Structure 1
Amino acid sequence: MGNTEKFTGKAEVYAQFRPDYPETFVRDLILENHLSPSSVVADIGSGTGILTGQLLNQGLNVIAVEPNAEMRQIAESAFGSNPLFTSVPATAEQTTLKTGSVDLVTVAQAFHWFNPEQFKEECRRILKPDGKVVLIWNSRVPHAPLIRETASVCRKFCPVFHGFSGGTREDPAPFQTFFRNGRFAVRKYDHPLSYSLNAFLGRHLSASYAPKGQKGQPYIDALTQIFQKHQKRGRVRFPNVTCSYSGRV
């Protein structure tokens, strides 16, 4: 299965249960990159449009580039009437965007699916002079007991699990290679989440590595046991940090 198809059949649960990004982060993103209502942001690997929607709410022109039809259609249903929104069916490596047409490239929760060298060349092509790329993840706090226990369950029941978000952020080498001269800025924002059982299960079932159908029932059962262990008044606190890595390419 290619990367484009990994979320086929999971778009609705992804849209419903994946978290957004802190408003403080979005405001800082705009200020640090001197964005204005005339600015154009290319949100690459935009998925169901979680970050896209937050950027649109700030009055920015957003080109959402997403190869998966199911994911893209959810964003189009949500934002299609917004004149600031453009949906493009394309990959990160071949966006089809015009050369020198973009003020900023954002990548939320998707860089680990790209060919980094090809994507870097494409960013160089579509960005205006001195335009930056910002790579963003909502990251679980790895040493929190709840996160350690869910990781153990994922390793047991998900054969293709290799760490959350592909383990990319645990190794700085991909960023040092991707950004120009190995220079990039790191920003971190505390962004804890609160989940009911349904949302807790949905968050995990939205992952690319989560088993589907009947194969997923033992996974669900194990996650339910973890939820019941940690819940207070029917909810669990899910330790989470939003991390961004930004620089020129």
Structure 2
Amino acid sequence: MSDIPLHLARSFDEVADLYDAHRPGYPADLFVDLMAEARLGPDDAILELGCGTGQATRGLAPFGRRVLAIDPGPELVGVARRRMAAFPYVHFAVSTFEDWAPGLSAYRLIVSAQAFHWIDWGVALPKAAAVLAPGGMLACFAHVPEPPPAAFLGVFEPIYARMAPELWVDPPERWYWPGGAFAQGLAASGLFGAAEHRVYPTTRTYSADGFVDYLRTRSDYRALGRERLDALLAAVALAVRDGGGTIEMEMPAHLHMARRR
């Protein structure tokens, strides 16, 4: 189902601190809506898949439910643990979802933020359904970056055409668009009921250095290799500095929620 090279998932661990500093968090309204729809009891626990450095974990923790957050990156998990030290009911494990042994507990909510597409598609939905209690909910969400502002489009396009034309396309996160690969696969699985899709506007303003550090954490950019990536990002940073020194990126968060049949 996914056309994203799964081996790139491990590359985020190499830039854990950059990932934590420059990847956007998620709007508070998303978590309010999510928890209202999940209808968890006081003893129900949440399983988070691909927690990274805890961008979504930080939104879940204040609701007071037990959370087990797993990620294959030890450096990423180390940052998340430090971030969440004030929440003793939030626990972490270094593991892929494919290798993780769930034990006997059935979860009422599985959450995956910017990560479900990194799970082997032959495992992802069947194992999620097996781990969920009947009627439990799977919630997957991700920021899908919009094209750069109009003021930068004409400047960036020749840079990318010359240095990395394969990146001047729809982002890999298009997987989470309504009617995208995730929604299609979820519907075709027969394991879940009808999904609900919601969008939460998100904007982040970056300095030139912050923007290229954000790009350095993206899998499609990391696939270029170090030499091409460094050259491209140097040109992008110069363009942002010449364009005023900051760039405002629209990164709406797309949320999909579906209950296990």
Q: Does 1:39 align with 2:52?
A: no
Change (3 A) 1:158 1:90: farther
How many angstroms apart in 2 are the aligned matches of 1:124 and 1:144? 40
How many angstroms apart in 1 are the aligned matches of 2:61 and 2:87? 8
1:72-91 superposed matches below 5 A? 72-80=77-85, 82-91=87-96
**TM-score in terms of structure 2 length:** 0.82
Kept in 1: contact 2:152–2:243 (CA 8 A): no
Q: Does 1:95 align with 2:76?
A: no
**TM-score in terms of structure 1 length:** 0.85
Q: Does 1:223 align with 2:236?
A: yes
Kept in 1: contact 2:116–2:124 (CA 8 A): no
Runs (5+) with no aligned partner, structure 1: none
Partner residue, 2:194: 183
1:1-249 superposed matches below 5 A? 2-80=7-85, 82-142=87-147, 144-145=149-150, 157=163, 161=167, 163-170=170-177, 172-179=180-187, 181=190, 183-211=194-222, 213-228=226-241, 230-231=243-244, 234-249=245-260
Change (3 A) 1:172 1:220: closer
Change (3 A) 1:21 1:147: farther
How many angstroms apart in 2 are the aligned matches of 1:39 and 1:153? 50
How many angstroms apart in 2 are the aligned matches of 1:45 and 1:151? 32
Kept in 1: contact 2:174–2:180 (CA 8 A): no
Instruction: Give 3-state SS (helix, strand or coil) of 2:51's partner.
Output: coil
Kept in 2: contact 1:159–1:209 (CA 8 A): no
Instruction: Provide the aligned C-alpha RMSD in A.
Output: 2.8
Runs (5+) with no aligned partner, structure 2: 1-5
Equivalent residues, number? 247
Shift of 1:93: 2.5
Percent identity between the aligned chains? Answer: 21
